Structure 1
Amino acid sequence: EAIIPILYVAIFSTLIAFLIQTVAQKYTSSTHTAIILSLESVFGGVLSLIFLKEPFTIRFLIGCITIFLSIITTETKWSFLKRSNGNLSKL
């Protein structure tokens, strides 16, 4: 009885999603791909707030901020905050 739902999930939620992701990664830079994939949990959380009416909690906010700070640290090493000749560097 459960074989049809299992096949549906296996084909549409897994196989097709990974195929689309692989094809899309060919047409974007590795940096953009890393940022988008790192934000996957944030996208899921925001969409659950919108569509599933999940409650917005301080734990959710802290998680999102932590993910954003991790991405900024990984991608920029906070180099935009370093001083250059007495002036703040531009992005």
Structure 2
Amino acid sequence: MSIRLELKKLTERELRIVIYDEDKHSLPNLIAKLAIKKPGVVYAAYILEHPITSYPEIVILTDGSRNPLDVFEEVVNEAQKLVEEFSQKFEEALRNAFKERK
């Protein structure tokens, strides 16, 4: 699976990144939900202008106390850890279910 990112805007307080991926909601939604919880972030969301012809644009705005690109990097690392944790727990649940069926 290949995901391409395009940096649309970067200032001291604002980051806008387009995610080119066929799944237009899962990853952008996760990033926005994690970002809004970070200290210094005043707004985080994703914009999808048209469900068929456009790709989601993530917007992260800070109060100026943090660089929005640093926030994005932190959120991507956190999302990766969540995915790894989920995968481990899912595999464990499958093993346990398989054992119970025997």
Larger relative contact order (CA 8 Å, sep ≥ 6): 2
> Structure 2 length as normaliser, TM-score?
0.29
> Structure 1 length as normaliser, TM-score?
0.31
For the pair shown, the structure with the greater C-alpha radius of gyration is 1
Higher helix content, 1 or 2: 1
